[in-house]
A and B are shown apart, each in its own frame.
Chain A
Amino acid sequence: AQSVTQPDIHITVSEGASLELRCNYSYGATPYLFWYVQSPGQGLQLLLKYFSGDTLVQGIKGFEAEFKRSQSSFNLRKPSVHWSDAAEYFCAVVLANAGGTSYGKLTFGQGTILTVHP
């Protein structure tokens, strides 16, 4: 069965410190990969996406993620965290399908709550 695992439920970092959030997936083929961020009581905002090509992708708000096929991972990174980055982060995958029929069926991880200390 397809699954997405975010091993860290809660991460605390100091403002200005670097950040890495982990994501592993289990799929029969290479999926499309996404990171979303959710602030309390709000919907999901897309941070970045990977479809193909360069395995290091840049997103909004200074985030980047690296796709490693050999490790089935898509970890999110930021070199210097800001207090406004405190939120919950979700990794999501969808099975690549040339016909586009799978694009709506995102499978999400459990989420990682990020707390930022001043």
Chain B
Amino acid sequence: DAGVTQSPTHLIKTRGQHVTLRCSPISGHKSVSWYQQVLGQGPQFIFQYYEKEERGRGNFPDRFSARQFPNYSSELNVNALLLGDSALYLCASSYWQGNQPQHFGDGTRLSIL
């Protein structure tokens, strides 16, 4: 079975631009979460989505937004990019209920010039 897939794998943008990152969850998983991992740190929670609704939001500015589609895939959008947005963006999927852990994709490496 395919794991969590993310696209693109790498992306280079300049300050002020916007970016869209995509995630396809493991088949059968209906919850998707997004994390930002800055170099040298642990991942930081950004959003959780389930059934196309936002179920959790971390401490990130409104420049960050996301959505989930009927097939449970998800997009993370970041507007007005700053140098500090350079990071590895990780998507994780899981079952919504029950004692099931999250499974992560390999991430999208975003570099801001």
Contacts and interface: CB of A to CB of B under 8 A. Distances in A.
Nearest to B99: A51
Most central of A36, A45, A102 by chain B CB within 10 Å:
A36
B41 A111 contact: yes
Chain A: interface size category: 20 to 34
Given A90-B43, A109-B42, A104 B106 contact: no
Given A43-B4, A104-B32, A104-B94, 5 more contacts: A43-B105, A49-B101, A51-B99, A104-B33, A111-B41
Interface of A: 4, 32, 34, 36, 41-46, 49, 51-52, 90, 92, 99-111
B104 A43 contact: yes
A42 B43 CA distance: 13
B90 A104 contact: no
A99 B102 CA distance: 16
Interface in B41-99: 41-45, 48, 50, 55-56, 58, 90, 92, 94, 96-99
A41 B106 CA distance: 8
